[in-house]
Amino acid sequence: MKGARASFHPRLLAYALSIIVGNLINSRHKPKVLGDRLPKDEEMLEVLKEIKALLEPKPVPPVPAPPKGLWAEFMDFISKYKVMGLAVAFIMGVYLGALVQALVKDLIMPIIGLAFPGLGDLATYVVPVGSQNFGVGDFFVALITFIIVAFVIFILVKITKKWGIE
């Protein structure tokens, strides 16, 4: 890979390099004997074993024992699954939905009613097909409410990510 670097433990790398460089220097000043090798096989084998041991993944630390007692388990559940944050978000979502529904019903729908003369209230709009009447106005009100709620949530998530809040 271009630009990729292997990471080694600095002390081990320095040790391995010192053995290799030392053997290179020693091999230039000493006459070579048939049984004498550039890096000794045993030293090389030890260094390779140390490198292998450092590159093996570390064992996973043991899981802490579960808390004892009902109250401790309950507090662990609340902190682990962030239940309080979820409860606050749910309650705020309910009231945000009610706020947006009031905005759509009391402000946006009358504006749409003014824009289309003769329409009146969009929530009561009915489309007659044959002998049946389809009340599509309530659906349009719910659709507009959903779009506004989704947009408000999108903006809130975008702002909280910008601030670094999860």
Domain of residue 106, CATH code? 1.10.1200.120
Do residues 77 and 48 share a domain? no
Do residues 88 and 143 share a domain? yes
Its pTM stands at: 0.47
Query: What is the identity of the amino acid at 120?
Result: G
Q: Measured at the alpha carbon of residue 107, what is the angle toward residues 101 and 111, in degrees to the nearest 5?
A: 130
Do residues 43 and 89 share a domain? no
Do residues 79 and 154 share a domain? yes
pLDDT of the residue at 24: 53
The torsion defined by the Cα of 102, 107, 109 and 114, in degrees rounded to 10, comes to 160
Q: DSSP for the chain?
A: -TT------HHHHHHHHHHHHHHHHHHHHS---TT--SS-HHHHHHHHHHHHHHHSPPPPPPPPPPPPSHHHHHHHHHHHTTHHHHHHHHHHHHHHHHHHHHHIIIIIHHHHHHHSTTT--GGG--EEETTEEE--HHHHHHHHHHHHHHHHHHHHHHHHHHHT--
Do residues 87 and 39 share a domain? no
Do residues 81 and 152 share a domain? yes
pLDDT of the residue at 34: 45
Do residues 155 and 100 share a domain? yes
Give, in order, the Cα–Cα distances in Å from 91 to each of 24, 94, 97, 146: 73, 5, 10, 17
Give, in order, the Cα–Cα distances in Å from 11 to each of 4, 91, 159: 21, 56, 45
Do residues 119 and 77 share a domain? yes
pLDDT of the residue at 20: 66
Do residues 93 and 134 share a domain? yes
Query: Would residue 116 count as lying in a domain?
Result: yes
Range of 24's domain?
A: 10-55
pLDDT of the residue at 58: 81
CB atoms within 10 A of CB 138: 13
Q: How many domains does the chain have?
A: 2
pLDDT of the residue at 39: 53
pLDDT in tens, the chain (166 residues): 444 445 556 666 667 666 765 665 555 445 444 455 545 677 777 888 888 888 888 888 888 777 788 888 888 787 777 888 888 889 988 998 899 889 888 888 888 888 877 777 777 888 899 999 998 888 888 898 889 888 988 998 899 888 887 6
Query: Would residue 4 count as lying in a domain?
Result: no
Q: From CA 38, how far away is CA 23, in angstroms rounded?
A: 6
Residue with tokens 């947009």: 151
pLDDT of the residue at 32: 47
Task: State both tokens at 89.
Answer: 């978000």
Do residues 100 and 144 share a domain? yes
Q: From CA 131, how far away is CA 17, in angstroms rounded?
A: 92
